[in-house]
């Protein structure tokens, strides 16, 4: 049985992503309060895997998670792209008109803003730590008049009644999750024949054209740049780290491209080599 540390409680979207990624295996979910706790759980037990969100098609990148990953020395071993669909759920026996307060994670609230703005009566909206935790709190405290924005899975798990389904504004709402492991365990879990994606981080000299040179080399080697994210280097004004995702069909040519850009970069680090992740529908 695999042990997987996630941010959030059972029923969260992290929980759903973990179960879908490992759908053919039996897993034990280890709930963690924060993303930093996820990394601590993996470091404290090298048999534990970590799963965390890294970006959402609406909310964008989770910037703090890039730094946590870089500092952790863990390896990315896979990814999963989860279609996120929200419900409004409350204790049984209520209708939408009975709800006076809605509680959820701030990103979920943002993703459902059009639905909330079109409610025909005033409702108090309260931010919480997690979508599934919001559902659990309503169940545990038997809060009549309060509803949670959460997954249908969380609603069923915590015995809530779904008042409205599919309330997210954009139906193309996906979150990309990374699966991480200790360096030694990662080498055992990755199928080298399936590797077609890589995540890198590097700094660049503070000189004209330094980024375009790197991108030109990657293009020459037929690397497909699927993501680039810059973050400032703390304490070094106007200097940045660049987080890059590449996909490729030829692993040897990919390694040649890494050797070619290394002299052009500073502190280049491969965060993981893995298979391009499936996307839920």
Q: What are the residues whose beta carbons fall under 8 Å from the beta carbon of 238, sequence distance 6 or more?
A: 206, 232
- Region of residue 93 (phi > 0: left; psi between -120 and 50: alpha; otherwise: beta): left
Residue with tokens 């540390």: 5
Three-state SS sequence of 227-244: EEEEEECCCCCCCEEEEE
**In this structure, are residues 219 and 261 in contact, taking their beta carbons and an 8 Å threshold?**
no
Could you list the beta-strand ranges (E) of 86-169. Answer: 87-90, 101-104, 124-127, 146-150, 161-165
Task: Give the max Cα distance, the chain.
Answer: 66
Q: Helix or strand or coil: residue 60?
A: strand
10 Å CB burial of residue 115 (0-12, 13-18, 19+) is middle
Rounded to whole angstroms, how far apart are CA atoms 20 and 235? 40
Report the candidate in 50, 32, 55, 59 with the shortest Cα–Cα distance to residue 129: 32
Report the candidate in 185, 77, 99 with the shortest Cα–Cα distance to residue 149: 99
**In this structure, are residues 10 and 31 in contact, taking their beta carbons and an 8 Å threshold?**
yes
Residues taking part in catalysis: 175, 177
And the tokens for 150? 């959460």
**In this structure, are residues 49 and 180 in contact, taking their beta carbons and an 8 Å threshold?**
yes
């Amino acid at each position: 049985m695999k042990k997987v540390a996630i941010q959030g409680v059972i029923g969260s979207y992290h929980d759903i992503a973990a179960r879908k990624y490992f759908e053919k295996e039996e897993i034990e979910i280890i709930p963690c309060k924060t993303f930093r706790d996820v990394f601590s759980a993996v470091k404290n037990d090298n048999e534990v895997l970590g799963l965390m969100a890294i970006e959402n098609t609406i909310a964008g990148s989770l910037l703090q998670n890039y730094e946590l990953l870089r500092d952790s020395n863990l390896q990315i071993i896979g990814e999963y792209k989860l279609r996120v669909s929200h419900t409004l759920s409350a204790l049984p026996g209520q209708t939408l008109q009975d709800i006076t307060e809605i509680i959820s994670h701030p990103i979920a609230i943002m993703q459902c803003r059009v639905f909330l703005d079109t409610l025909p009566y005033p409702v108090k909206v309260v931010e919480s730590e997690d979508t599934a935790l919001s559902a659990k709190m309503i169940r545990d405290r038997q809060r009549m008049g309060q509803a949670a924005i959460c997954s249908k899975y969380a609603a069923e798990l915590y015995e809530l009644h779904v008042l409205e389904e599919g309330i997210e504004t954009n139906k193309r709402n996906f979150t990309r999750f990374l699966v991480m492991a200790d360096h030694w365990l990662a080498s055992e879990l990755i199928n080298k024949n399936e590797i077609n994606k890589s995540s890198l981080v590097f700094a660049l000299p503070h000189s004209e054209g330094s980024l375009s040179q790197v991108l030109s080399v990657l293009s020459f080697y037929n690397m497909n740049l699927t993501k680039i994210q810059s973050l400032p280097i703390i304490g070094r004004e106007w200097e940045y780290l660049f987080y890059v995702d590449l996909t490729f069909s030829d692993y040897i040519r990919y390694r040649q491209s890494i050797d070619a850009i290394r002299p052009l970069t500073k502190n280049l680090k491969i965060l993981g080599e893995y298979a391009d992740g499936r996307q839920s529908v």
